Amino acid sequence: MTAHHPKENTVPGCELSTYHDLAQVLADLPRLLRAERRRRQLSVRAAARELGCSFATVSRIESGEDCVLSNAVTVLRWLDEAEPTSATEAAQP
């Protein structure tokens, strides 16, 4: 029996298959945040309250400006709490 060797460049302890996948999620964060906020019918201020950050932070993330890692983690966890949506819904601006 052959030992299973993880794919090269896999992310240890993570369901994403590669660092590239993780980078893509982070690059898509502005679009994902805006889509989920709109799906929940929240204003930027209301989403900021739910996230526990400022209006300016949510606005910067949605506009694609650099955000600190702790804010990215907070947004990803908030997105994970969301009900599943179809790919079509998430792609709408």
Q: What is the CATH number of the domain that holds 69?
A: 1.10.260.40
At residue 93, the pLDDT reads 47
Query: Does residue 79 lie in a domain region?
Result: yes
In a domain, 43, yes or no: yes
Domain containing 54: what range? 19-91
Q: Is residue 65 part of a domain?
A: yes
Structure confidence at residue 85 (pLDDT): 56
State the pLDDT at residue 18: 81
pLDDT at 26 over 60: yes
- Tokens describing residue 29: 């964060």
Handedness of CA 28, 54, 48, 68 (dihedral sign): positive
4 domain-assigned: no
Q: What's the pLDDT tens digit per position in 34-93? A: 999 999 999 999 999 999 999 999 999 999 987 888 999 999 999 988 766 544 444 444
Q: Rounded to whole angstroms, how far apart are CA atoms 86 and 36? A: 11
**What is the predicted pLDDT for the residue at 16?**
64
Task: Determine, yes or no, domain membership for 6.
Answer: no
Residue 83 domain flag: yes
Distance CA 29, CA 5 (A): 31
pLDDT at res. 61: 96
Looking at the 3D structure of the chain, how many domains does it have?
1
Determine if the pTM surpasses 0.85: no
10 in a structural domain: no
Q: What is the 3-state secondary structure (H, E, C) of 29-49?
A: HHHHHHHHHHHCCCCHHHHHH
